[in-house]
Amino acid sequence: MNSKAYDVIIVGAGVVGCMIARFLSRYKLDILLIDKEADLCMGTTASNTAIIHAGYDPVPGSLKAAMNVRGNRMWDTLAAELGIPFERRGDYVVAVGKEELPSLDALYDKGMQNGVPGMLLISGDELRRREPGINPEVSGALWASTGGIADPFAAAVAPAENAVRNGVEVMLETEFQGFLMDGSRVVGIQSSRGELRSRWVVNSAGIYSDAVMHKAGIRPEFKITPRRGEYYVFDRADIAINNVLFPVPTKVSKGILVTTTVHGNTIIGPNAQNIDDKEDRSVTREGLNEVWQGARKLLPQLELKHAIAVFAGLRPAGNAPCATAGVDCKNDYIIEIPDSVSGLVNLGGIESPGLVSAPAIAERVVELLQDAGERLVEKHDWDPIRSPRPRFRELPKEEQKILVHNDPSYGRIVCRCESVTEGEILAEIRAPIPARTYDALKRRTWLGTGRCQGGFDIPRVVEILSRELGLSPLEMSKKGVGSRFLTRPTKEVEADHAEADV
């Protein structure tokens, strides 16, 4: 039982919740960020295409379009302040065959209406020059210079750490169960750790945002449908695509794209399949085949034998129509303080382009609170900066030498494929929001993501984690409750222990 009364409790620590925590940490507020999982960003933020969209895709006039374009403009400053790996390398929508060309014009028009700067229609020849491996049938492309790629994990971890630096509290493995109400006013939440009181609650529960708002009795018709997308990840030693390549979009999604990541791996995906289970991130034979066929339409020379990982993510697709009359968008974002319940900032349906929009959504939440009469006073000592921690693999040799000289633990490679050192792992376990699971370390350091997929490093990481946390290796887990790596000591070790006890 936590007797403290907060000003704001943020439910859900994906990229949106973490950004809101960071933007609100500027003001004199007691803020608590909670998540039901063992780490930040384990839902939609953990598995997506990691694109900073330019903004030509959402329906003009929708909240999605507004947040996308506004968010896109914020990323240079945001990434610099928070140390988020981000590259504004532009993106392409690729038309294959003459029949797809009109779709490019339609996207260009939408982009103009949405206020997307830096778009250009280019010829098939020009694209073939820029990306020689592209399908020779390419007839043209829409080039958007403001498109980019970012590290989606850092996009959540970095603002959350910055928020903690500025006084925000974080409680993980803390599940939202219901609201504490005083009449029609929210006064806190019931959680798996007991009652938590606050003047405001922000619903940033992602795939579960419908269930959270229903607990407050609002928008009973709103429903999140998990829409699964599957992906392949390729070995960067074998395939290196320099560009972000979209096909022309379909009615339901932006299609199966081929893109590079800030870590240099090419990824392909996602397909789009509506499912029922909000925890089902499994990949299917059919789905992977669909992804494969889709990507080969853009890059026929891809070879499946170079794939080193597969994964699936869930888009929290909502069904809220756009609030602006006359805008034909049936699955717009919800970002509101509802009329019928006070003390609640309600978000829902924040699917793609959620990553790029997250900082704009956070700013919008600040505005909503001000509009609701909340007097937000800036802290005089608010620090907007969060410095990234060193990544051995990315440093030039001279800097590697200095790093290892100053701290020998950076000289020991724990993950051979990605050259992740013990020093990096220790830094993440000792970080403001400590990494306490294997996957938390993986998302932060990129260990275990290479060719051997953790085959080499897992026993070593389990040993380091257990040593640092002062817990038995038996308690070490992949991703929190129910996912422990080991079941018991071997007979010999058990016998040794028994002997030692005697």
Partner 1 sequence: MLKQMYDVVVIGSGPAGLAAAVEAKKQGAEDVLVIERAQELGGILQQCIHNGFGVEIFKEDLPGPAYAQRFIDEVYQLGVEILLDAMVLDLSSGRRIYATSSQSGIVELSARAVVLAMGCRERTRAQIHLPGSRPAGVYTAGTAQRFVNIEGYMPGSRCVVLGSGDIGMIMARRLTFEGAQVERVLEIMPFLTGLMRNYVQCLRDFDIPLQLRHTVSRIVGNNRVEAVEVVQVNENREPIAGTEEVIPCDTLLLSVGLIPENELSRKAGVALDPITGGPYVDERMQTNISGIFAAGNVVHVYDLVDWVTEAAYLAGRSAAHYALEERRRFAGRVRLESGNNVRYVVPHAIDRESLAEADQRLQLRVSEPIEERVSVEVSAGEERIARSVHRYVRPGEMVSIDIPQKAYDTVQRAESLRVSIRSG
Nearer to partner 1, 86 or 232 (CB): 232
Pick the closer one to partner 1 by CB: 106 or 402: 402
* Parallel/antiparallel/unpaired status of strands 91-96 and 245-247: parallel
Tokens linked to 179: 């609201």
Residues 6+ positions from 35 with CB-CB distance below 8 Å: 12, 13, 17, 42, 171, 172, 173, 174
Strand locations in 396-437 (E)? 413-415, 420-421
Of the candidates 112, 121, 69, 56, the one whose C-alpha atom is nearest the C-alpha of residue 94 is 121
C-beta of 59: minimal distance to partner 1 in Å?
A: 34
Residue with Cβ nearer partner 1 (101 or 452): 452
Closest contact distance (angstroms) between CB of 41 and partner 1 is 16
- Bridge pairing between strands 5-11 and 31-34: parallel
Specify the residue, 67 or 307, whose C-beta has the smaller distance to partner 1: 307
Whole-angstrom distance, CA of residue 67 vs CA of residue 461: 39
- SS3 (DSSP) at 3: coil
Beginning with the edge strand found earlier in the chain, give each strand of the sheet holding 148-150 in spatial order: 51-52, 148-150, 86-87
Residues whose CB is less than 8 angstroms from the CB of residue 251 and which lie 6 or more positions away in sequence, other chains included = none
Active-site residue (options: 53, 263, 306, 405)? 53
**Minimum CB distance to partner 1 smaller for 89 or for 484:** 484
Q: Is 53 a catalytic residue?
A: yes
The answer for residues whose C-beta is within 8 angstroms of residue 334's C-beta and 6 or more apart is 63, 209, 219, 222, 318, 320, 346, 347, 348, 349
d(CA 394, CA 470): 30
Minimum distance from residue 285 beta carbon to partner 1 (Å): 5
Shortest gap between Cβ of 211 and partner 1 (angstroms)? 18
Minimum CB separation of residue 76 from partner 1 in Å reads: 32
Under the rule (CB under 8 A), what is the footprint of partner 1? Answer: 233, 237, 279-285, 288, 304-305, 307-311, 392, 397, 400-401, 404-405, 408-409, 411-413, 416-417, 419, 421-422, 451-456, 458-459, 462-463, 473-474, 477-493
Rounded distance between C-alpha atoms, residue 15 and residue 100, angstroms: 34
Q: How far is the CB of 210 from partner 1 (least distance, A)?
A: 20
Cβ closer to partner 1: 56 or 438? 438
List active site positions. Answer: 53
